[in-house]
Amino acid sequence: MDQTPNIPEVVEEVRDLFERYEQALIDKNLDVLDNCFWNSPHTIRLAHHEHGYGFDRIHAHRMARPPGPGTKEKRLRLDILTIGR
């Protein structure tokens, strides 16, 4: 099994997915947000002031949020570590 750390194209793919998710939070793009999570009752989303357990509950929470642009705190740092492919 390949355990090479930080293969450039793998890091780039993870970074692109992360940025897509972050932008979807700001835009409140529910389709993108939902596609970023496994549609399963076993899905867990941990956040600073809230946690979601199960895809359906995570989705329902997003649907209940007020309309309008989302906000994000300033990013201090982004570190990505990948192992293999």
CATH classification code of 8-64: 3.10.450.50
Q: What is the pLDDT of residues 44-57, one digit of tens each?
A: 999 888 899 999 99
Q: What is the DSSP letter of 41?
A: T
Q: What is the DSSP letter of 42?
A: T
Q: What is the pLDDT of residues 25-82, one digit of tens each?
A: 889 999 999 999 999 999 999 988 889 999 999 999 999 988 777 777 788 999 999 9
- Comparing C-alpha atoms, which of 23, 62, 59 is closest to residue 38? 59
**Domain positions in the chain:** 8-64
Residue 11 backbone dihedrals phi, psi, to 5 degrees: -60, -45
pTM above 0.75, yes or no: yes
**Contacts with 8 (C-beta within 8 Å, 6 or more apart), sequence order:** none
